[in-house]
Structure 1
Protein backbone atom coordinates (compact mmCIF):
# COMPACT_ATOMS: atom_id res chain seq x y z
CA UNK A 1 0.00 0.00 0.00
CA UNK A 2 2.14 2.84 -1.30
CA UNK A 3 1.12 6.32 -0.09
CA UNK A 4 0.66 9.19 -2.51
CA UNK A 5 1.14 12.90 -1.86
CA UNK A 6 -2.54 13.08 -0.87
CA UNK A 7 -2.52 10.11 1.50
CA UNK A 8 0.98 10.17 2.98
CA UNK A 9 0.92 10.34 6.78
CA UNK A 10 2.86 13.38 7.92
CA UNK A 11 1.95 13.72 11.61
CA UNK A 12 2.30 10.68 13.84
CA UNK A 13 4.20 8.68 11.25
CA UNK A 14 4.95 6.02 13.85
CA UNK A 15 1.24 5.15 13.77
CA UNK A 16 1.06 4.74 10.01
CA UNK A 17 0.10 1.23 8.86
CA UNK A 18 1.40 0.21 5.44
CA UNK A 19 -0.06 -3.30 5.39
CA UNK A 20 -2.90 -3.55 2.87
CA UNK A 21 -4.30 -6.58 4.73
CA UNK A 22 -4.69 -4.43 7.85
CA UNK A 23 -6.55 -1.79 5.83
CA UNK A 24 -8.93 -4.39 4.41
CA UNK A 25 -9.45 -5.87 7.88
CA UNK A 26 -10.42 -2.45 9.23
CA UNK A 27 -12.82 -1.85 6.34
CA UNK A 28 -14.33 -5.26 7.03
CA UNK A 29 -14.70 -4.58 10.77
CA UNK A 30 -16.39 -1.18 10.56
CA UNK A 31 -19.98 -0.52 9.57
CA UNK A 32 -20.08 3.21 8.80
CA UNK A 33 -17.97 5.42 6.55
CA UNK A 34 -18.00 9.19 6.28
CA UNK A 35 -17.88 10.58 2.76
CA UNK A 36 -16.68 14.12 2.17
CA UNK A 37 -17.59 15.93 -1.05
CA UNK A 38 -17.91 19.55 -2.13
CA UNK A 39 -21.50 20.49 -2.98
CA UNK A 40 -21.70 23.93 -4.53
CA UNK A 41 -19.44 26.21 -2.52
CA UNK A 42 -19.28 24.22 0.70
CA UNK A 43 -18.05 20.78 1.83
CA UNK A 44 -20.45 18.14 3.07
CA UNK A 45 -19.48 15.10 5.16
CA UNK A 46 -22.10 12.37 5.36
CA UNK A 47 -22.26 9.04 7.23
CA UNK A 48 -23.05 6.14 4.94
CA UNK A 49 -23.17 2.36 4.75
CA UNK A 50 -20.52 0.94 2.47
CA UNK A 51 -18.87 -2.19 1.17
CA UNK A 52 -15.50 -3.09 -0.32
CA UNK A 53 -14.60 -5.32 -3.24
CA UNK A 54 -10.82 -5.87 -2.98
CA UNK A 55 -10.84 -7.20 -6.54
CA UNK A 56 -13.21 -4.57 -7.90
CA UNK A 57 -12.78 -2.92 -11.29
CA UNK A 58 -10.98 0.17 -9.98
CA UNK A 59 -7.24 0.49 -9.37
CA UNK A 60 -6.52 -1.13 -6.01
CA UNK A 61 -10.07 -2.42 -5.56
CA UNK A 62 -13.35 -0.59 -5.08
CA UNK A 63 -15.25 0.95 -2.19
CA UNK A 64 -18.99 1.31 -2.80
CA UNK A 65 -21.57 3.59 -1.21
CA UNK A 66 -25.18 4.04 -2.21
CA UNK A 67 -27.97 6.56 -1.83
CA UNK A 68 -31.08 8.05 -3.36
CA UNK A 69 -30.84 9.31 -6.93
CA UNK A 70 -32.53 12.45 -5.59
CA UNK A 71 -29.60 13.19 -3.26
CA UNK A 72 -27.75 16.23 -4.55
CA UNK A 73 -24.46 15.23 -2.92
CA UNK A 74 -24.49 11.89 -4.72
CA UNK A 75 -25.34 13.31 -8.13
CA UNK A 76 -22.52 15.83 -7.81
CA UNK A 77 -20.00 13.21 -6.68
CA UNK A 78 -19.71 11.44 -10.03
CA UNK A 79 -16.39 12.48 -11.55
CA UNK A 80 -15.45 14.52 -8.48
CA UNK A 81 -12.63 13.89 -6.02
CA UNK A 82 -14.06 12.64 -2.73
CA UNK A 83 -12.61 11.65 0.63
CA UNK A 84 -13.90 8.62 2.53
CA UNK A 85 -12.90 8.00 6.14
CA UNK A 86 -13.54 4.98 8.36
CA UNK A 87 -12.69 4.89 12.08
CA UNK A 88 -12.99 2.22 14.75
CA UNK A 89 -12.60 3.26 18.39
CA UNK A 90 -10.76 0.54 20.33
CA UNK A 91 -10.04 2.22 23.66
CA UNK A 92 -9.85 5.33 25.85
CA UNK A 93 -6.36 6.14 27.09
CA UNK A 94 -6.08 7.70 30.55
CA UNK A 95 -2.77 9.47 30.80
CA UNK A 96 -1.22 10.98 33.89
CA UNK A 97 -1.66 14.44 32.43
CA UNK A 98 -4.34 15.95 30.23
CA UNK A 99 -1.77 16.29 27.44
CA UNK A 100 -1.23 12.52 27.27
CA UNK A 101 -4.87 11.45 27.26
CA UNK A 102 -5.61 9.78 23.96
CA UNK A 103 -7.65 7.11 22.21
CA UNK A 104 -6.81 3.74 20.74
CA UNK A 105 -8.15 3.54 17.22
CA UNK A 106 -7.82 2.30 13.68
CA UNK A 107 -8.59 4.79 10.95
CA UNK A 108 -8.44 4.87 7.17
CA UNK A 109 -8.56 7.68 4.63
CA UNK A 110 -9.40 7.00 0.99
CA UNK A 111 -9.12 9.76 -1.62
CA UNK A 112 -10.07 9.32 -5.24
CA UNK A 113 -12.23 10.25 -8.19
CA UNK A 114 -15.67 8.79 -7.65
CA UNK A 115 -17.79 7.37 -10.44
CA UNK A 116 -21.48 6.66 -10.67
CA UNK A 117 -21.94 2.96 -11.37
CA UNK A 118 -23.98 2.59 -14.57
CA UNK A 119 -23.34 -1.06 -15.37
CA UNK A 120 -26.42 -3.01 -14.14
CA UNK A 121 -24.45 -6.09 -13.09
CA UNK A 122 -21.92 -4.05 -11.10
CA UNK A 123 -24.73 -2.06 -9.43
CA UNK A 124 -26.50 -5.24 -8.34
CA UNK A 125 -23.26 -6.73 -7.05
CA UNK A 126 -22.42 -3.54 -5.16
CA UNK A 127 -25.84 -3.41 -3.50
CA UNK A 128 -25.53 -7.07 -2.50
CA UNK A 129 -22.08 -6.39 -1.06
CA UNK A 130 -23.44 -3.50 1.02
CA UNK A 131 -26.20 -5.73 2.46
CA UNK A 132 -23.74 -8.58 3.10
CA UNK A 133 -21.29 -6.21 4.77
CA UNK A 134 -23.89 -5.72 7.51
CA UNK A 135 -25.19 -9.31 7.62
CA UNK A 136 -23.05 -11.78 5.63
CA UNK A 137 -25.10 -14.02 3.35
CA UNK A 138 -28.26 -11.94 3.73
CA UNK A 139 -28.48 -10.75 0.13
CA UNK A 140 -28.93 -14.28 -1.24
CA UNK A 141 -32.00 -14.79 0.98
CA UNK A 142 -33.87 -11.70 -0.25
CA UNK A 143 -36.19 -11.20 -3.21
CA UNK A 144 -34.66 -9.44 -6.23
CA UNK A 145 -34.82 -5.64 -6.19
CA UNK A 146 -37.65 -4.21 -8.29
CA UNK A 147 -37.07 -1.89 -11.24
CA UNK A 148 -38.58 0.94 -9.21
CA UNK A 149 -36.18 0.32 -6.32
CA UNK A 150 -33.17 0.14 -8.62
CA UNK A 151 -34.25 3.29 -10.47
CA UNK A 152 -34.41 5.13 -7.13
CA UNK A 153 -30.97 3.98 -5.97
CA UNK A 154 -27.60 5.28 -7.11
CA UNK A 155 -24.26 3.60 -6.41
CA UNK A 156 -20.97 5.43 -6.14
CA UNK A 157 -17.61 3.70 -6.57
CA UNK A 158 -14.34 5.02 -5.14
CA UNK A 159 -11.00 3.38 -6.04
CA UNK A 160 -8.91 2.10 -3.14
CA UNK A 161 -5.64 3.01 -4.84
CA UNK A 162 -5.04 6.13 -2.72
CA UNK A 163 -5.53 5.03 0.86
CA UNK A 164 -3.72 5.41 4.16
CA UNK A 165 -4.22 3.92 7.60
CA UNK A 166 -3.18 4.85 11.13
CA UNK A 167 -3.59 2.93 14.37
CA UNK A 168 -2.86 3.33 18.06
CA UNK A 169 -2.94 0.63 20.73
CA UNK A 170 -1.87 0.18 24.34
CA UNK A 171 -1.52 2.48 27.29
CA UNK A 172 -0.40 6.09 27.75
CA UNK A 173 3.05 7.44 26.94
CA UNK A 174 3.66 9.64 29.96
CA UNK A 175 6.46 11.84 31.21
CA UNK A 176 8.76 10.07 33.75
CA UNK A 177 8.03 12.69 36.41
CA UNK A 178 4.27 12.11 36.03
CA UNK A 179 4.74 8.35 36.39
CA UNK A 180 6.90 8.89 39.49
CA UNK A 181 4.18 11.09 41.03
CA UNK A 182 2.01 7.99 41.44
CA UNK A 183 -1.03 9.01 39.40
CA UNK A 184 -2.85 6.04 37.86
CA UNK A 185 -2.46 5.55 34.12
CA UNK A 186 -3.88 2.96 31.74
CA UNK A 187 -6.53 2.44 29.11
CA UNK A 188 -10.15 1.38 28.89
CA UNK A 189 -10.84 -1.09 26.05
CA UNK A 190 -13.90 -0.24 23.97
CA UNK A 191 -15.83 -2.99 22.18
CA UNK A 192 -19.01 -3.01 20.12
CA UNK A 193 -21.99 -4.90 21.52
CA UNK A 194 -24.56 -6.38 19.13
CA UNK A 195 -27.63 -7.70 20.89
CA UNK A 196 -29.73 -10.74 20.10
CA UNK A 197 -32.05 -10.37 17.08
CA UNK A 198 -35.38 -8.66 17.85
CA UNK A 199 -38.22 -9.84 15.57
CA UNK A 200 -40.45 -7.35 13.79
CA UNK A 201 -43.97 -7.02 15.17
CA UNK A 202 -45.51 -8.05 11.84
CA UNK A 203 -43.55 -11.29 11.32
CA UNK A 204 -45.86 -14.11 10.29
CA UNK A 205 -46.52 -16.76 12.96
CA UNK A 206 -43.82 -19.41 13.12
CA UNK A 207 -41.16 -17.36 11.31
CA UNK A 208 -37.93 -17.84 13.22
CA UNK A 209 -34.62 -16.03 13.12
CA UNK A 210 -32.83 -17.12 9.91
CA UNK A 211 -29.34 -18.54 10.06
CA UNK A 212 -27.77 -15.54 8.30
CA UNK A 213 -29.18 -13.10 10.86
CA UNK A 214 -28.20 -15.29 13.81
CA UNK A 215 -24.67 -15.72 12.45
CA UNK A 216 -24.46 -11.99 11.69
CA UNK A 217 -25.34 -11.18 15.28
CA UNK A 218 -22.52 -13.39 16.53
CA UNK A 219 -20.09 -11.90 14.00
CA UNK A 220 -21.13 -8.37 14.98
CA UNK A 221 -20.38 -9.07 18.64
CA UNK A 222 -16.93 -10.35 17.71
CA UNK A 223 -16.01 -7.32 15.59
CA UNK A 224 -13.65 -4.83 17.12
Structure 2
Protein backbone atom coordinates (compact mmCIF):
# COMPACT_ATOMS: atom_id res chain seq x y z
CA UNK A 1 0.00 0.00 0.00
CA UNK A 2 1.38 3.39 -1.01
CA UNK A 3 1.79 5.94 1.76
CA UNK A 4 -0.53 8.94 1.73
CA UNK A 5 0.91 12.44 2.07
CA UNK A 6 -0.32 15.87 1.11
CA UNK A 7 1.67 15.64 -2.12
CA UNK A 8 0.43 12.20 -3.13
CA UNK A 9 -3.32 12.78 -2.74
CA UNK A 10 -4.94 12.62 -6.19
CA UNK A 11 -7.44 15.50 -6.31
CA UNK A 12 -8.39 15.70 -10.00
CA UNK A 13 -10.03 12.45 -11.09
CA UNK A 14 -9.68 10.99 -7.62
CA UNK A 15 -11.52 7.83 -8.72
CA UNK A 16 -8.48 6.99 -10.86
CA UNK A 17 -6.12 6.91 -7.88
CA UNK A 18 -4.47 3.56 -7.20
CA UNK A 19 -2.77 2.72 -3.90
CA UNK A 20 -1.26 -0.62 -4.93
CA UNK A 21 2.54 -0.53 -4.58
CA UNK A 22 2.86 -3.29 -7.17
CA UNK A 23 1.21 -1.04 -9.76
CA UNK A 24 3.81 1.64 -9.02
CA UNK A 25 6.59 -0.88 -9.58
CA UNK A 26 5.02 -2.13 -12.82
CA UNK A 27 4.71 1.39 -14.25
CA UNK A 28 8.34 2.24 -13.46
CA UNK A 29 9.65 -1.09 -14.76
CA UNK A 30 7.73 -0.86 -18.02
CA UNK A 31 8.41 2.81 -18.66
CA UNK A 32 12.09 3.19 -17.66
CA UNK A 33 11.77 6.85 -18.67
CA UNK A 34 11.11 9.57 -16.10
CA UNK A 35 10.57 13.28 -16.45
CA UNK A 36 12.65 14.74 -13.61
CA UNK A 37 11.82 18.19 -12.30
CA UNK A 38 13.73 20.73 -10.21
CA UNK A 39 13.62 24.47 -9.61
CA UNK A 40 16.79 26.19 -10.83
CA UNK A 41 17.30 29.96 -10.63
CA UNK A 42 13.62 30.28 -9.86
CA UNK A 43 12.59 28.47 -13.05
CA UNK A 44 11.06 24.97 -13.24
CA UNK A 45 13.17 22.60 -15.36
CA UNK A 46 11.96 19.16 -16.43
CA UNK A 47 14.30 16.76 -18.22
CA UNK A 48 13.48 13.25 -19.50
CA UNK A 49 15.95 10.71 -18.13
CA UNK A 50 16.36 6.95 -18.04
CA UNK A 51 15.28 5.72 -14.63
CA UNK A 52 15.05 2.20 -13.25
CA UNK A 53 14.08 0.44 -10.05
CA UNK A 54 15.97 -2.00 -7.88
CA UNK A 55 13.76 -3.21 -5.03
CA UNK A 56 12.41 -0.11 -3.25
CA UNK A 57 14.80 2.48 -4.73
CA UNK A 58 14.86 4.32 -8.04
CA UNK A 59 18.08 5.19 -9.88
CA UNK A 60 19.22 7.70 -12.47
CA UNK A 61 22.69 8.24 -13.92
CA UNK A 62 24.73 10.46 -16.19
CA UNK A 63 28.00 12.29 -16.63
CA UNK A 64 29.64 13.97 -13.65
CA UNK A 65 29.22 17.38 -15.33
CA UNK A 66 25.45 17.03 -15.81
CA UNK A 67 23.74 20.20 -14.58
CA UNK A 68 20.65 18.32 -13.45
CA UNK A 69 22.57 15.60 -11.62
CA UNK A 70 24.90 18.09 -9.93
CA UNK A 71 21.84 19.80 -8.47
CA UNK A 72 20.13 16.56 -7.48
CA UNK A 73 23.15 15.10 -5.70
CA UNK A 74 22.98 18.02 -3.26
CA UNK A 75 19.69 16.62 -2.00
CA UNK A 76 17.25 19.18 -3.41
CA UNK A 77 13.59 18.22 -3.52
CA UNK A 78 12.50 16.72 -6.81
CA UNK A 79 9.68 14.81 -8.46
CA UNK A 80 9.72 12.16 -11.17
CA UNK A 81 6.78 11.32 -13.41
CA UNK A 82 6.26 8.14 -15.44
CA UNK A 83 3.49 7.76 -18.02
CA UNK A 84 2.35 4.80 -20.10
CA UNK A 85 -0.18 5.62 -22.80
CA UNK A 86 -2.59 2.73 -23.42
CA UNK A 87 -5.14 4.06 -25.90
CA UNK A 88 -7.62 6.66 -27.09
CA UNK A 89 -11.20 6.63 -25.85
CA UNK A 90 -13.50 7.66 -28.70
CA UNK A 91 -16.88 8.86 -27.49
CA UNK A 92 -20.06 9.91 -29.28
CA UNK A 93 -19.48 13.51 -28.25
CA UNK A 94 -16.31 15.51 -28.83
CA UNK A 95 -15.94 16.63 -25.23
CA UNK A 96 -16.00 13.09 -23.84
CA UNK A 97 -13.02 11.84 -25.83
CA UNK A 98 -10.22 10.86 -23.48
CA UNK A 99 -7.37 8.39 -23.01
CA UNK A 100 -6.40 5.22 -21.22
CA UNK A 101 -3.12 5.60 -19.33
CA UNK A 102 -1.09 4.56 -16.32
CA UNK A 103 0.96 7.21 -14.55
CA UNK A 104 3.05 7.57 -11.42
CA UNK A 105 4.67 10.46 -9.60
CA UNK A 106 7.50 9.99 -7.11
CA UNK A 107 8.68 12.64 -4.64
CA UNK A 108 11.85 12.85 -2.60
CA UNK A 109 15.56 13.58 -2.57
CA UNK A 110 18.35 11.74 -4.34
CA UNK A 111 21.62 10.71 -2.77
CA UNK A 112 24.90 9.95 -4.53
CA UNK A 113 26.45 6.49 -4.77
CA UNK A 114 30.22 6.86 -4.59
CA UNK A 115 31.60 3.30 -4.56
CA UNK A 116 32.46 2.05 -8.04
CA UNK A 117 31.65 -1.53 -7.09
CA UNK A 118 28.09 -0.53 -6.19
CA UNK A 119 27.79 1.62 -9.32
CA UNK A 120 28.82 -1.38 -11.39
CA UNK A 121 26.22 -3.59 -9.73
CA UNK A 122 23.34 -1.14 -10.19
CA UNK A 123 24.24 -0.20 -13.77
CA UNK A 124 24.53 -3.87 -14.71
CA UNK A 125 21.14 -4.50 -13.11
CA UNK A 126 19.70 -1.93 -15.53
CA UNK A 127 21.28 -3.66 -18.52
CA UNK A 128 19.84 -6.97 -17.35
CA UNK A 129 16.39 -5.39 -17.14
CA UNK A 130 16.43 -4.34 -20.79
CA UNK A 131 18.47 -7.27 -22.18
CA UNK A 132 18.57 -10.38 -19.96
CA UNK A 133 22.00 -12.08 -19.66
CA UNK A 134 23.73 -9.40 -21.74
CA UNK A 135 26.22 -8.59 -19.00
CA UNK A 136 27.67 -12.08 -19.51
CA UNK A 137 28.78 -11.08 -23.02
CA UNK A 138 29.68 -7.38 -23.08
CA UNK A 139 32.71 -5.60 -21.64
CA UNK A 140 31.65 -4.21 -18.28
CA UNK A 141 32.49 -0.71 -17.15
CA UNK A 142 36.08 -0.09 -16.12
CA UNK A 143 37.19 2.05 -13.19
CA UNK A 144 37.71 5.15 -15.33
CA UNK A 145 34.22 4.89 -16.84
CA UNK A 146 32.59 4.21 -13.50
CA UNK A 147 34.38 7.13 -11.86
CA UNK A 148 33.16 9.45 -14.64
CA UNK A 149 29.55 8.35 -14.05
CA UNK A 150 27.30 9.98 -11.48
CA UNK A 151 24.76 7.52 -10.06
CA UNK A 152 21.94 8.69 -7.80
CA UNK A 153 19.30 6.79 -5.86
CA UNK A 154 16.05 7.74 -4.17
CA UNK A 155 13.73 5.65 -1.97
CA UNK A 156 10.20 4.96 -3.20
CA UNK A 157 8.64 6.16 0.04
CA UNK A 158 6.37 8.91 -1.34
CA UNK A 159 4.52 8.26 -4.57
CA UNK A 160 1.11 8.36 -6.20
CA UNK A 161 -0.38 6.29 -9.02
CA UNK A 162 -3.22 7.25 -11.33
CA UNK A 163 -4.80 4.85 -13.83
CA UNK A 164 -7.39 5.76 -16.43
CA UNK A 165 -9.10 2.71 -17.94
CA UNK A 166 -12.83 3.32 -17.58
CA UNK A 167 -13.81 3.30 -21.24
CA UNK A 168 -16.42 5.53 -22.88
CA UNK A 169 -18.46 7.82 -20.64
CA UNK A 170 -21.06 9.34 -22.93
CA UNK A 171 -24.06 11.38 -21.82
CA UNK A 172 -27.27 9.37 -21.91
CA UNK A 173 -28.67 11.81 -24.47
CA UNK A 174 -25.89 10.85 -26.91
CA UNK A 175 -26.22 7.05 -26.67
CA UNK A 176 -28.55 6.84 -29.67
CA UNK A 177 -26.22 8.91 -31.89
CA UNK A 178 -25.26 6.87 -34.97
CA UNK A 179 -21.49 7.05 -34.55
CA UNK A 180 -18.91 4.44 -33.59
CA UNK A 181 -17.69 4.62 -29.99
CA UNK A 182 -15.07 2.59 -28.18
CA UNK A 183 -11.36 2.33 -27.42
CA UNK A 184 -8.45 2.61 -29.85
CA UNK A 185 -5.68 0.63 -28.07
CA UNK A 186 -2.14 1.96 -28.22
CA UNK A 187 0.72 -0.45 -27.61
CA UNK A 188 4.49 -0.16 -27.56
CA UNK A 189 6.07 -3.08 -29.42
CA UNK A 190 9.67 -4.17 -28.84
CA UNK A 191 11.85 -5.76 -31.54
CA UNK A 192 12.88 -7.37 -33.74
CA UNK A 193 16.55 -6.61 -33.14
CA UNK A 194 18.37 -4.61 -35.82
CA UNK A 195 22.10 -5.49 -35.96
CA UNK A 196 24.87 -3.09 -36.90
CA UNK A 197 26.25 -3.72 -40.42
CA UNK A 198 29.59 -5.10 -39.22
CA UNK A 199 28.10 -7.95 -37.18
CA UNK A 200 29.66 -11.19 -38.39
CA UNK A 201 27.57 -14.12 -39.57
CA UNK A 202 29.02 -16.28 -36.79
CA UNK A 203 27.38 -14.13 -34.08
CA UNK A 204 23.90 -15.36 -33.22
CA UNK A 205 21.04 -12.95 -32.59
CA UNK A 206 20.33 -12.92 -28.85
CA UNK A 207 16.87 -13.49 -27.41
CA UNK A 208 15.75 -10.73 -25.05
CA UNK A 209 12.03 -11.44 -25.35
CA UNK A 210 11.73 -12.73 -21.78
CA UNK A 211 11.97 -9.16 -20.47
CA UNK A 212 8.97 -7.94 -22.43
CA UNK A 213 6.23 -10.55 -22.37
CA UNK A 214 3.52 -9.95 -24.95
CA UNK A 215 5.10 -6.61 -25.91
CA UNK A 216 7.78 -8.50 -27.85
CA UNK A 217 6.87 -8.30 -31.53
CA UNK A 218 7.71 -11.83 -32.62
CA UNK A 219 9.16 -14.35 -30.19
CA UNK A 220 9.39 -16.97 -32.91
CA UNK A 221 11.91 -14.84 -34.85
CA UNK A 222 14.55 -15.65 -32.22
TM-score where L is the length of structure 1: 0.88
Match of 1:109 in 2: 105
- CA shift for structure 1 position 205: 4.1
Distance 2:36 2:110 in 1: 11
What corresponds to 1:27 in structure 2? Answer: 28
Task: Give SS of 1:74's match.
Answer: helix
Residues of 2 paired with 1:172 and 1:73: CA distance?
A: 40
Deviation sequence 1:169-220 (CA, Å, 0-9, x none): 1421111001123332111011111221111112234111124x45457665
Instruction: State the TM-score, normalizing by the size of structure 2.
Output: 0.89
What stretches of structure 1 of length at least 5 have no aligned partner? 55-60
CA contact (8 A) 1:105 1:167 kept: yes
1:118 corresponds in structure 2 to 114
Aligned with residue 171 of structure 2, among 169, 172, 175: 175
1:94-145 deviation line (CA, Å, top 9, x unaligned)? 1122221111000000010111222333322221122223223323432221
Whether the aligned pair in 1 keeps the contact of 2:5 and 2:158 (CA below 8 Å) is yes
Task: Give matches, 1:66-215, under 5 Å.
Answer: 66-78=61-73, 79-211=75-207, 213=208, 215=210
Number of residues of Structure 1 aligned to a counterpart in Structure 2: 215
User: Which ranges of 4 or more aligned residues in structure 1 deviate by more than 3 Å?
Assistant: 213-220
Q: Secondary structure at the match of 1:103?
A: strand
CA distance in 2, matches of 1:9, 1:84: 15
Question: What runs of 5+ residues in structure 2 fail to find an aligned partner?
Answer: 218-222
Equivalents in 1 of 2:215, 2:168: separation in Å? 28
RMSD: 1.9
